[in-house]
Structure 1
Amino acid sequence: MSNAFVMRSLDEIRFWSRIMKEHSLFLKLGFRCEDTQLIAEANQFYAVFEEIERRSHAFTVTADPELIKRFNTEVHNAASHIWAFKRKVLGLVLSCQLPGANNFPLLIDHTSREAFYFRNRLEELNTGRLEPLPDAIIDENVFFLRIMADHAKFIGHLLDPSERQLVEQARNFSNDFDQLLFQARDLESMRPQSQTVPLLDQFLDQNRVSVKSLRDFKKTAKDLIEACRIKSIIHPLLADHVFREAERFLFIIDMFENNLVRESSG
């Protein structure tokens, strides 16, 4: 248990608790007026993760690791509960019990995958069972490439159909990230033989180029939406939300790249 454990835990909680809080809002906005129970549950989760986010910023890197470990357990519990809520909502939508609601099934599934990722990361940190670097590189990229592919699909579907050029760009990004995801899964199924430094390095380089392009597209879309310059039903916060997740992926790719260089030269 060390400063690194505290820093990593707080970084994950600060980022993902905000994401979970915003998921609660987006789900709520997609419910129908009569779904009062689901709206109340979403509001409750919003409050829970807003408080977690607030408390995470009250800690510093010098915090007692045991205290952070307990905080991780508490947040893990909250993430498990919001995951269960999202899966419940997905079940209701897929069994046609919420006709007219505006949350895509894939969007609900997408948010549940992020909750599951978050709870698993906290579990790994608390048990000290973080993956070896070659496995982490492949697994994180498989996870985030799918997230990015989903984002492109959501943007394409939530833009007004008359925004033909932007819809086409979103569709192209969706296809690009689907292909990158297939490549990542090929590398995944070829491991451990595929986990050479040159292959992993090229894998990260290729993904970085595409993520930067998508990040820039999201930034443009976000700015246009905030300035009311394009037609869409995208909430400005959702535009910012998907932009931040692309930034997060780039941060992770750069971190992996630095660690790979360090390990190969060491």
Structure 2
Amino acid sequence: MQLRIDSPDSDPGAVPDIVRRRVLVGGVTLIAATIAAGCRTGRAPVTAADPPVAASPRSGPEAARAMTVTNGRKPVFVPEPGANDAVSLSVADNLFWNDILMEHAKFFVVLMPGPELAQQRCEAERFQHAFAEQFRRTSSARFDGASYRGLNQATIDLARPFIDWKRRMQDAQSTGNLRSLVWPLFFEHTAREVERFVARLAGYNAGRVEYDRTEVVDFWAQIMEEHSEFIAHLLDPKEKTLIKAADKSADLFRGLRRDPDAKMKAAAEAHAIVAFKTTAEKGIREGAIKSIIDPALADHVRREAVKFKDELQRV
């Protein structure tokens, strides 16, 4: 199967088959999530279920305005167009990133096999459960100007230990003290995502809601570059065309970070990477692409590309 990465001059318009729906968050009091004791090995997998969707999430002038973008296996949670208030940004980011962090932990569980890694796998399962619970609580509660800070602080309190854990695992893997199937760069990559998420939530709580274009492009271009590198190394060696396409994508985003003038092309390149990852996820899921990429991981990186594109449209 062949995939094409559009050139930076391609039309940066919407990817076909994207459906946008407003998210209804309805009336349960938030309780701060805690990391559950014990492991879940052998039990049903922990997932973050989709929240209910309705025509409008508003229940008052300060109600959150969040919505879903649907063009793949799972929806992407973003603020509604034009919503730049702390409540809407907080709820949308909590829905998006708690789901993403749950999946980080899920991937670590899979990539830490065997009895030698039972302790680390158990720790990852606890984080997986905790972020799935925080997602559920976010999607089932109603937030406004009086309550969103509590949501953000509860998430920050969950996320900081996960950052520390990822950094410890990164150091252990880098020095040979951990023998998992997780690249040190994957630990670093995912820790960087949580650090940025925590910084955004802390900013919302302090009344800072603006996006800085340089920061958005620099952060997401590095994430997209590394995604492309991961994909290139997880494809079957016979998928030479796709490996070259992934390498080309990594080069494009590396150049985007290093060349200030190239940052004006960010929207086109964001559109191209969403299209590439959407097609790749479908090919992996249907078995048309040979790889060791789990379809859940393919969809995970697709959703992050959609998030990148959405943030670019807000700066």
Q: 1:209-235: CA deviations, max 9, x gaps?
A: 112111111111101110011211101
Confirm whether residue 68 of structure 1 aligns to residue 186 of structure 2.
no
Equivalent pair of 2:106/2:128 in contact (CA under 8 Å):
yes
Confirm whether residue 119 of structure 1 aligns to residue 198 of structure 2.
yes
Counterpart-to-counterpart distance in 2, 1:161 and 1:5: 46
Structure 1 residue identity aligned to 2:153: T
Counterpart-to-counterpart distance in 2, 1:32 and 1:56: 31
Following TM superposition, by how much is the alpha carbon of 1:65 offset from its aligned partner in structure 2, in angstroms?
A: 2.3
Counterpart-to-counterpart distance in 2, 1:35 and 1:51: 24
1:93 to 173, 176, 197: 173
Structure 1 residue identity aligned to 2:90: S
1:214 to 254, 273, 277: 273
Relative to the length of structure 2, the TM-score reads 0.71
Following TM superposition, by how much is the alpha carbon of 1:53 offset from its aligned partner in structure 2, in angstroms?
A: 0.5
1:147 to 223, 228, 243: 223
Following TM superposition, by how much is the alpha carbon of 1:91 offset from its aligned partner in structure 2, in angstroms?
A: 0.9
- Paired position in structure 2 for 1:36: 118
Unaligned runs of 5+ in 2: 1-60, 64-84
Equivalent pair of 2:170/2:187 in contact (CA under 8 Å):
yes
Alignment size in residue pairs: 233
Structure 2 residue identity aligned to 1:203: K
Counterpart-to-counterpart distance in 1, 2:231 and 2:263: 26
- Displaced runs of 4+ in structure 1, greater than 6 A? none
Aligned positions of 1:114-193 closer than 5 A: 114-131=193-210, 136-183=212-259, 187=260
Q: Which is richer in helix?
A: 1
**Secondary structure in structure 2 of the residue aligned to 1:32:** coil
**Secondary structure in structure 2 of the residue aligned to 1:35:** helix
- Paired position in structure 2 for 1:103: 182
- Paired position in structure 2 for 1:15: 96
Q: Which is richer in strand?
A: 2
**Secondary structure in structure 1 of the residue aligned to 2:147:** helix
- Paired position in structure 2 for 1:252: 311
Q: 1:102-136: CA deviations, max 9, x gaps?
A: 111111100000010111111101111345x5xx1
Identity of aligned residues (%): 31
- Paired position in structure 1 for 2:286: 227
- Paired position in structure 2 for 1:52: 134
Equivalent pair of 2:257/2:263 in contact (CA under 8 Å):
no
Equivalent pair of 2:217/2:263 in contact (CA under 8 Å):
no
**Secondary structure in structure 2 of the residue aligned to 1:66:** coil
Counterpart-to-counterpart distance in 2, 1:107 and 1:82: 14
Unaligned runs of 5+ in 1: 188-198, 257-266
1:84 to 145, 164, 180: 164
Choose between structure 1 and 2 for higher RCO, CA contacts under 8 A separated by at least 6 residues.
2
Counterpart-to-counterpart distance in 2, 1:5 and 1:224: 38
Counterpart-to-counterpart distance in 1, 2:170 and 2:62: 39
Equivalent pair of 2:256/2:263 in contact (CA under 8 Å):
no
